[in-house]
C-alpha cells in the first residue's frame, strides 16, 4: 500500500511528545480551546468504554442506527490497515483530503507544544465530526476512560461500559476494581449508562462511581438480559422482549455485546429496524474474521483461515469458546504478541482447542515479543509450539502437516493489521 500525504503529517505528530501513552486531559483541553472547542458542536454522543467488546458493540450500535436511516459518526482505535479507519463521517470513512486538512489544522494550532499522537488525532476527529452533519457520534475510548482523550464531552446522550478485565495494569491499576473505576470515569451526572456483564469487583467500582457522579445505570443482569435460545438471540428489559437472529459477528460473547448494543438502542428510542440491523448488518474486522481471499488463501487453499486481534486473558477465553462452537476440524494457531501483554493468560484457554501453535514476531513492531518467547509461553500453557520467520512460513508448515486444518492467526491487533494490509 503506497503512502498517503496524511502519513507524513501523522509521522510528524508522533514526535510531539516523548511518551506514546501519558494519561491526562490538560493537553487535549489546550488544543481544543485553540481550535474553538469543536467537541461542543458534535451530534449527540454515545461514549463507549470497557476492556473487551467495545469495538463490536460500537459496530452493532452503528449498524442498528444506520438501519433506521441515521447518519452516524464513529471514532475507533487502533486502526488495522490505515489510519482512515479510525474516523467515519456520517457512515463513510474519512477521505484522504479531509483527513489531511484536519490533521494540518490541528498540527498548526498545536504550535509544536507537547501532545501525544492519540490526543492530537482525537482532536482532529472532533474537528471533522463538528463540521459534518450527522445524527449521532459514537466515541470509543482509547485507554481507560477517566483521563482518555475522548473524555471531554460534557453531556453525552448515553454511556456504555462493556466487560472490564485485567489489561493495561501499568496505566490503570493492578486490580479489577481499580481498572473498572478508571473505565467508569466516563460517567456524567444525569447521563444513563448501559453496563455490560461485569465481575463483582468491577461492577461495585462502576456502581460506586455512578453514585458519586449521579449517573443512572442500566445494567446487565439487573435491567436487561441477553441470551441464546433455540438458535435465536433473546433480549429482554422492562420494555419487553426481542426475539432476533443470532449476531452475524461470530462467537458466544457477541450475544452479550449485542445485548449492550440493543440496550443502548432502546434507551436512544430506536425501533424494530434498528434492533434487526444491529445483529444482522454489523461488520468488525479482525474479530474472529474469516479470511476468504488474498495471497495467504492462494498460498494454502485447503486451509480455513481466521483472524482475531484479541490479546488479553478474557479475549483468549472468548476465542476459545468461539472455536469450540465451530464444526470440528484440526485447529492450529499462528500467534504473535506484544511484550506488554499477559501472554500465558491469553494462551491458557486456547490450549484445549488447538493442536499446536506456530509463533511469529509481529513485523515492523518495536514492542513485539520474539517468536521464541511466544513459543516458550505457549509450551508453558500446554500448547505444543514452534517458531517461524513469518506468517506465510507458518502457514506453509501447517499446510504441509495438516492440509485441511483450521488456522487462527491471533495475539495482537498489530499482527492483524499487518495481515489485512498484506492480504488485501
List, for residues 154-185, the tens digit of each pLDDT value.
999 999 999 998 776 666 778 999 999 999 99
C-alpha cell at 118: 492519540
pLDDT digit string, tens, across residues 380-412: 999 999 999 999 999 999 999 999 999 999 999
CB 280 within 8 A of CB 245: yes
- The pLDDT score that the predictor gives to residue 89 is 98
3-state helix, strand, coil split of the chain in percent (to 5) is 45, 20, 40
State which H helix or E strand residue 172 sits in: helix 169-172
pLDDT digit string, tens, across residues 325-359: 899 999 999 999 999 888 999 999 999 999 999 99
C-alpha cell at 15: 514526535
pTM for the model: 0.87
Residue 20: pLDDT band by 50, 70, 90 thresholds? Answer: low
Task: Average the pLDDT over 317-322 and give the result.
Answer: 91
Residue 303: pLDDT band by 50, 70, 90 thresholds? Answer: very high
Residues of the chain with CATH 3.40.1190.10: 5-280
Q: Residues 6 or more apart from 377 whose CB is under 8 A from it? A: 343, 344, 347, 369
d(CA 312, CA 203): 19
CB 116 within 8 A of CB 20: yes
Residue 250: pLDDT band by 50, 70, 90 thresholds? Answer: confident
78 preceded by a cis bond (ω within 30 of 0): yes
Q: 2 pLDDT exceeds 70?
A: no
99: closest CA among 228, 7, 14?
A: 7
CB 206 within 8 A of CB 176: no
Q: 143 pLDDT exceeds 90?
A: no
Q: What angle do CA 140, 143, 149 make, to 5 degrees?
A: 70
- The pLDDT score that the predictor gives to residue 284 is 87
Other CB atoms closer than 10 Å to residue 24's CB: what's the count? 11
- The pLDDT score that the predictor gives to residue 253 is 87
Q: 218 pLDDT exceeds 90?
A: yes
Half-sphere exposure of 54 (CA within 13 A, CB side): 27
C-alpha cell at 251: 462467537
Task: Average the pLDDT over 203-208 and give the result.
Answer: 97
| Mean pLDDT for the chain overall | 93
- The pLDDT score that the predictor gives to residue 4 is 74
C-alpha cell at 250: 461470530
d(CA 184, CA 202): 10
Task: Average the pLDDT over 257-272 and give the result.
Answer: 97
- The pLDDT score that the predictor gives to residue 168 is 64
pLDDT digit string, tens, across residues 81-139: 899 999 999 999 999 999 999 999 999 999 999 999 999 999 999 999 999 999 999 99
- The pLDDT score that the predictor gives to residue 25 is 92
| DSSP for residue 2 | P
Residue range 289-423 in CATH 3.30.930.10: no
| Cα–Cα distances in angstroms (integers) from residue 155 to residues 121, 266, 418, in the given order | 22, 19, 37
- The pLDDT score that the predictor gives to residue 85 is 95
- The pLDDT score that the predictor gives to residue 424 is 66
Other CB atoms closer than 10 Å to residue 248's CB: what's the count? 15
- The pLDDT score that the predictor gives to residue 19 is 67
- The pLDDT score that the predictor gives to residue 56 is 94
- The pLDDT score that the predictor gives to residue 21 is 67
DSSP string, 348-415: GGGGGT-SEEEE-PPTT-TTBPPHHHHHHHHHHTT--EEE-SSHHHHHHHHHHH-TT-EEEEES-HHH
Residue 278: pLDDT band by 50, 70, 90 thresholds? Answer: very high
Residues of the chain with CATH 3.90.190.20: 289-423
Q: 78 pLDDT exceeds 70?
A: yes
β-sheet bridge partners, residue 76: none
Residue 280: pLDDT band by 50, 70, 90 thresholds? Answer: very high
CB 280 within 8 A of CB 262: no
Task: Average the pLDDT over 44-50 and give the result.
Answer: 97
CATH topology of domain 5-280: 3.40.1190
Other CB atoms closer than 10 Å to residue 26's CB: what's the count? 11
Reduced to 3 states (helix: H, G, I; strand: E, B; else coil), residue 254 is helix
Amino acid at each position: 500500500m503506497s503512502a498517503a500525504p496524511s502519513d507524513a503529517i501523522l509521522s510528524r505528530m508522533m514526535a510531539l511528545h516523548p511518551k506514546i501513552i501519558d494519561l491526562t486531559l490538560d493537553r487535549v483541553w489546550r488544543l481544543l480551546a485553540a481550535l474553538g472547542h469543536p467537541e461542543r458542536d458534535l451530534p449527540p454522543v454515545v461514549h463507549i468504554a470497557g476492556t473487551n467488546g467495545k469495538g463490536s458493540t460500537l459496530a452493532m450500535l452503528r449498524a442498528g442506527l444506520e438501519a433506521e436511516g441515521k447518519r452516524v459518526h464513529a471514532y475507533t482505535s487502533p486502526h488495522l490497515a490505515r489510519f482512515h479507519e479510525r474516523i467515519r463521517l456520517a457512515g463513510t470513512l474519512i477521505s484522504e483530503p479531509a483527513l489531511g486538512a484536519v490533521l494540518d489544522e490541528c498540527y498548526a494550532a498545536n504550535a509544536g507544544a507537547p501532545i501525544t499522537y492519540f490526543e492530537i488525532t482525537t482532536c482532529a476527529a472532533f474537528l471533522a465530526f463538528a463540521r459534518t452533519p450527522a445524527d449521532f457520534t459514537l466515541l470509543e475510548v482509547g485507554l481507560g476512560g477517566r483521563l482518555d482523550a475522548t473524555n471531554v464531552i460534557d453531556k453525552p446522550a448515553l454511556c456504555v461500559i462493556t466487560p472490564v478485565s485485567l489489561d493495561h495494569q501499568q496505566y490503570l491499576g493492578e486490580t479489577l476494581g481499580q481498572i473498572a473505576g478508571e473505565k467508569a470515569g466516563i460517567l456524567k451526572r444525569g447521563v444513563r449508562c448501559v453496563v455490560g456483564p461485569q465481575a463483582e469487583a468491577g461492577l461495585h467500582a462502576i456502581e460506586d462511581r455512578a453514585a458519586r457522579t449521579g449517573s443512572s445505570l442500566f445494567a446487565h443482569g439487573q435491567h436487561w438480559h441477553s441470551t441464546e435460545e433455540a438458535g435465536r438471540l433473546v433480549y429482554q428489559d422492562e420494555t419487553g422482549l426481542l426475539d432476533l437472529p443470532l449476531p452475524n459477528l461470530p462467537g458466544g460473547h457477541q450475544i452479550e455485546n449485542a445485548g449492550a448494543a440493543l440496550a443502548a438502542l432502546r434507551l436512544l428510542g430506536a425501533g424494530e429496524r434498528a434492533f434487526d440491523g444491529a445483529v444482522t448488518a454489523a461488520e468488525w474486522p479482525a474479530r474472529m474474521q474469516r479470511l476468504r481471499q488474498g495471497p495467504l488463501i492462494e498460498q494454502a487453499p485447503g486451509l480455513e483461515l481466521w483472524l482475531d486481534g484479541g490479546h488479553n486473558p478474557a479475549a483468549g477465553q472468548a476465542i476459545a469458546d468461539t472455536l469450540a462452537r465451530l464444526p470440528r476440524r484440526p485447529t492450529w494457531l499462528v500467534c504473535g504478541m506484544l511484550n506488554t501483554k499477559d501472554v500465558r493468560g491469553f494462551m491458557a484457554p486456547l490450549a484445549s482447542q488447538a493442536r499446536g501453535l506456530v509463533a511469529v514476531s509481529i513485523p515492523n513492531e518495536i514492542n513485539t515479543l520474539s517468536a521464541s518467547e511466544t513459543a516458550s509461553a505457549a509450551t508453558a500453557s500446554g500448547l505444543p509450539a514452534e517458531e517461524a520467520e513469518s506468517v506465510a512460513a507458518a502457514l506453509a508448515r501447517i499446510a504441509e502437516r495438516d492440509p485441511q486444518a483450521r488456522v487462527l492467526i491471533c495475539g495482537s491487533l498489530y499482527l492483524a493489521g499487518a495481515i489485512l494490509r498484506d492480504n488485501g
